[in-house]
Amino acid sequence: MTAARFQNPVFVALDTPDLSKARELARLVRGAAGGLKVGLEFITAQGPSGIREIAAFGLPLFVDVKFHDIPNTVAGASRELVKLGAKLFNIHVSGGEAMMRASVEAARAVDPDVKVIGVTVLTSLEDRDLESVGQRSPAQDQVVRLAKLAKHSGLDGVVCSPREIAPVRAACGPDFLIVTPGVRPKGADLADQRRVMTPGEAARAGADIVVIGRPITMAPDPAAAARAIAAEIAQLA
């Protein structure tokens, strides 16, 4: 962990389209998590009022919205998203420098503390998929290239998989936020995650925020599961 930016770096992914389920999970983990995350499924089902409601729980809300459009459109969308209460949100770095700068400027005008995070290469893409869309492989080199561009364009950090934490940290320095999904406590069900690290390994490698869904949301006691993960990371501080 590079800096104590987030006292509790565990963000819980509320991966559901259902408002009452999201609300219940948010209530359960409120005292144990460092933040909450909603993604496209929830956003599409519940819209602005759903985002506003989850933001009102008082934990920093990461809206995993992955904007990618022309600068003017992304600037407008970023402004509206921050008005709903997002404290972190993400945009595709491949949208280019002008798009990133426009997003950051519009978002900060609403909330100077909001964090804008870049999506580099989706982990679902293999090297041959990158080549088929005209991007250079291997994926890890492309991730580092895009992370540097994100930093140059004023973004606060990037989302990256556990195996990319160390190269991104090395390339982008200690003040660049690294947000990492694909984290699994020892002995947890991997579900569909493949290249996982434990929370402690991810923190040691340099992650600032770990985004964790099922190991917390499916646990019999989600708050206890979140607390155990935060404690494992805090031991390293």
Which residues contact ligand C5P by CB under 6 A? 13, 15, 39, 123, 161, 181-182, 191, 193, 211-215
Q: Which residue, 71 or 215, has its beta carbon nearer to ligand C5P?
A: 215
What's the rounded Cα separation, in Å, for the pair 13 and 98?
A: 30
Structure-token pair, residue 154: 């004023």
∠ at Cα 76 (74, 81), nearest 5°?
90
As measured in angstroms, the least distance from the Cβ of 232 to ligand C5P is: 15
Q: Which is nearer to ligand C5P, 118 or 182 (CB)?
A: 182
Closest residue by Cα to residue 181 from 149, 214, 150: 214
Q: Name 147's Cβ contacts closer than 8 Å, sequence gap at least 6.
A: 93, 118, 120, 158, 160, 168, 171, 172, 176
Distance of closest approach, residue 11 Cβ to ligand C5P, in angstroms:
9
Residue number with CB closer to ligand C5P (22 or 211): 211
**Comparison of 75 and 121: residue with beta carbon closer to ligand C5P:** 121
Q: Which two tokens stand for residue 96?
A: 């280019």
Q: How far apart are CA 196 and CA 105, in angstroms?
A: 34
Q: What kind and span of H or E run contains 210?
A: strand 209-212
Q: Which of 21, 37, 66, 151 is catalytic?
A: 66
Helix, strand or coil for residue 24?
helix
**In the annotation, is 83 catalytic?**
no
Q: Are strands 157-159 and 88-92 parallel, antiparallel or unpaired?
A: unpaired
Which phi and psi (to 5°) does residue 196 adopt? -100, 165
Q: Give the residue at shortest CB distance from ligand C5P.
A: 213
Please check whether residue 41 is in contact with residue 66, taking contact to mean a CB–CB distance below 8 angstroms: no
Specify the amino acid at residue 9: P
Closer CB to ligand C5P, 108 or 214, in the complex:
214
Report the nearest approach of ligand C5P to the CB of residue 195 (Å). 10
The angle subtended at Cα 126 by Cα 123 and Cα 130, nearest 5°, is 100
Could you give the residue numbers annotated as active site? 66
